[in-house]
Amino acid sequence: MSTLSLPLPLARRGRRPLPGFGLSLGLGLAWLSVVVLLPLAALAIRAAGLGMDGWLRAIQDPRVQASLKLSFSASLVAALVASLAGALVAWVIVRYRFPGRRLLDALVDLPFALPTAVAGIALTAIYSANGWVGRWLEPMGIKIAYTPIGIVIALIFIGLPFAVRTVQPVLEALGHEQEEAAASLGASRLTTLRRVVLPELLPALLTGFSLAFARALGEYGSVIFIAGNLPYKTEIAPLLITIRLEEYDYAGAIAIAALLLAASFVCLLAINAIPSLFAHERKGARRDA
C-alpha cells in the first residue's frame, strides 16, 4: 500500500517514470488491442454475422442447451465453493503463523501455473474408480470422475486461487483491532463475524466469486479428462465449441462462444461495479452515524 504513495511527490514535481499521459495511454491501448480487443472483436463481428436468428437457432439446439445448463450450474457451484474455501484459506494464511505457511501461500498459485490438462489428468487419476480417493468412494456408491461432481471439482481447483488472492489483501489490511473492539464490547463470535468482518470482506468475496465463475465457464483443459464428455450428461459448453469446430461449423462454435463470452463479460462488469456500490453504502452508513 505504501509503495503506491511514493510516485505522488514525483508526479507533483512533473517527473514521472513513464512518458506522458498521451503516449502511455496510446501504448497501453495498442497492447490491449492486439492481445485482447482484436481477437474479441473478431469473435463479436463473426457472431454478429450470424444474425439474431442464426444465433438463437444455434443456441436453442437441445444438446447446446444441455451443455450450457451443465456449464453454468457447475461453474456456479464451483465458484461458490471456491470462494468460501478460498476465504478460509486466506484467513488461515493471514491470521495464523505456523510452519509451512509460506509454502501454503505459494501452493495457492499453483493452479495458475499448471497446464490445466495436467491438472485434469491428475484429478482423474485420483478420483477415478481405482484412484487414491476414488477406490474408497466408489464402493460407497459415490462416483466422482466422469460425473458432474468431477467437473465441479476440476472447476473448484482452477477457481480457488482467484478467491484466495482477492480476499487475502483485504484481510491483511483489516487488522485485528476492529474484531478486538467488537469482542470487548461484548459481541459474540458470530456477531463479530456477521457485523464486522463480513461487510468488509464482502466486496472482495464477490470479486473472487465472479472471477472464479468467469474462469470456470470457459475452462476446457482440466475438465474434459474428468468429465466423461457424454452428450446431454457430462458435456460442457467449451467442449461443444470444439466439436462444432471439428465439424467445420464455425458459426455454431461462435454462437456458443459468444454466449459464454457475454456471460463472462457481464460477470466482470459486475465485479467492477461492486466496489463503488459498497463504497456508496458505507458512505451512507457513516452519514447516518
Partner 1 sequence: MKTHLRNVLLGLTLALAAGAASAKDVELLNVSYDPTREFYADVNQRFAAQWKQQSGETLNIRASHGGSGKQARAVIDGLEADVVTLALAADIDAIATNGKLLPTDWQKRLPHNSSPYTSTIVFLVRKGNPKQIRDWGDLVKPGVAVITPNPKTSGGARWNYLAAWAWASQEYRDGDKVVDFLTRLFKNVPVLDTGARGATTTFVERGIGDVLLAWENEALLTLSDADTRAKYEIVVPSLSIKAEPPVAWVDKNIDRHGTRKQAEAYLQFLYSPEGQRLAAKHGYRPSEPDKVPAAELARFPQVKQVTIDTAFGGWKKAQAEHFADGGFFDKIYRPR
Query: Which of 46, 270 has the CB closer to partner 1?
Result: 46
Contact between 225 and partner 1 by CB under 8 A: the answer reads yes
Query: Which of 228, 270 has the CB closer to partner 1?
Result: 228
C-alpha cell at 266: 457481464
C-alpha R_g of the chain: 23
Residue in the block written with cell 457451484: 77
Query: Which of 63, 283 has the CB closer to partner 1?
Result: 63
Contact between 187 and partner 1 by CB under 8 A: the answer reads no
Query: Which of 147, 166 has the CB closer to partner 1?
Result: 147
> Of the candidates 17, 20, 22, 62, which one interacts with partner 1 according to CB under 8 A?
62
Query: Which of 156, 243 has the CB closer to partner 1?
Result: 243
User: Looking at 15-23, 96-104, 118-126, 263-271, which segment touches partner 1 (CB under 8 A)?
Assistant: 118-126
User: Looking at 23-31, 224-232, 258-266, 278-286, which segment touches partner 1 (CB under 8 A)?
Assistant: 224-232
Question: CA 149 to CA 127: how far, in whole Å?
Answer: 10
C-alpha cell at 45: 463481428
User: Looking at 105-113, 120-128, 177-185, 205-213, which segment touches partner 1 (CB under 8 A)?
Assistant: 120-128
Contact between 125 and partner 1 by CB under 8 A: the answer reads yes
Query: Which of 219, 263 has the CB closer to partner 1?
Result: 219
Contact between 161 and partner 1 by CB under 8 A: the answer reads no
Residues 229-268 that bind partner 1 (CB under 8 A): 229-232, 239, 242-249, 252
Contact between 130 and partner 1 by CB under 8 A: the answer reads yes
Contact between 42 and partner 1 by CB under 8 A: the answer reads no
Residues 131-150 that bind partner 1 (CB under 8 A): 131, 145-146
Contact between 63 and partner 1 by CB under 8 A: the answer reads yes
Task: Give the 3-state secondary structure of 194-229.
Answer: HHHHHHHHHHHHHHHHHHHHHHHHHCCHHHHHHHCC
Phi, psi of 225 (to 5 degrees): -80, -35
Contact between 184 and partner 1 by CB under 8 A: the answer reads no
Question: CA 214 to CA 241: how far, in whole Å?
Answer: 17
Question: CA 233 to CA 229: how far, in whole Å?
Answer: 8
Query: Which of 5, 130 has the CB closer to partner 1?
Result: 130
For partner 1, the binding residues (CB under 8 A) are: 62-63, 121, 124-125, 128-131, 145-146, 224-225, 228-232, 239, 242-249, 252
